[in-house]
Amino acid sequence: MRKLTFAMNMSLDGYIAAPGDDLGWSVPSDELFQWWSDRVAATGLALYGRRLWETMSSHWPTADQQPDATPAAIEYAGRWRDMPKVVFSTTTGTVDGNARLVTGDAVTEITRLKAGDGDPMDIGGATLAAAAMRAGLIDEYAIVTHPVLVGGGTPFFTALDNWVNLTLMETRTFPDGVVLTRYETKP
């Protein structure tokens, strides 16, 4: 069975994007960017909701070809392109690169993917992750908390019908007061 992790940047007040989908508050330090890059390299399959896919696919496929691309951005872009991806959307017609599109029930497909063999999976995108959260499919939460209050926007967590008990697996502090906390879901 494959492990599924929900890993995202989050403001201290619980949002993954500020109003207007503003992500300006979550610019990573070099150390945090390397952590994200290493995470992409270790991910066997990434599951994306439509909006996060549109954000990532509009930049990373050619980010390493930009004249101002740093060595870290070049490394990340290559890793991101190489990582297999599944995009869940009922409104997107096609995806490209190393991705396939799923237009049917996300929970059914995620359950099927989890039951298979393979390297760990990451899930991203608030709506998609919320569906997986409510279905009890997430095994780990990797929360990268930035010391900013954005006052609203897209929440990291969704409303749940039942409690989800977690075990703290790791804490790590990055520059600028950013803190990683990783929690495993208790059976």
Q: How many CB atoms lie within 10 A of CB 1?
A: 9
Q: Provide the 3-class DSSP secondary structure of residue 153.
A: coil
How confident is the model at residue 44, as a pLDDT?
Answer: 96
Question: What distance in Å separates the CA atoms of residue 53 and residue 185, rounded to the nearest whole number?
Answer: 26
pLDDT in tens, 159-182: 999 999 999 999 999 999 999 999
**Structure confidence at residue 157 (pLDDT):** 94
DSSP β-ladder status, 15-17 and 154-155? antiparallel
Q: Which of 19, 28, 27 is nearest to 150 (CA)?
A: 19
- Measured between alpha carbons, how far is residue 99 from residues 80, 96, 172 in Å? 11, 6, 31
* Cα–Cα dist 3/67, whole Å: 37
Position 80 confidence tier, pLDDT thresholds 50, 70, 90: very high
- Percent of all residues in the chain with a pLDDT value above 90, rounded to a whole number: 96
pLDDT, mean over the chain: 95
Work out the average pLDDT over 131-146: 97
Q: How far apart are CA 106 and CA 87, in angstroms?
A: 10
pLDDT of residue 187: 82
Q: Give the pLDDT confidence of 11-63 residue by residue, as tens digits.
A: 999 999 999 999 999 999 999 999 999 999 999 999 999 999 999 999 999 99
Picking from 187, 184, 114, 86, the residue whose alpha carbon sits closest to that of residue 143 is: 184
The whole-angstrom separation of Cα 151 and Cα 158 is 16
Nearest 5°: phi and psi at 180?
-95, 130
pLDDT average, residue stretch 55-81: 93
| pLDDT for residue 150 | 98
Q: What are phi and psi of 181, to 5 degrees?
A: -130, 130
67-88 mean pLDDT? 95
CB 47 within 8 A of CB 89: no
**pLDDT at residue number 90:** 93
The pLDDT assigned to 149 comes to 98
Question: Burial, 177: exposed, middle or buried (Cβ in 10 Å; 0-12, 13-18, 19+)?
Answer: exposed
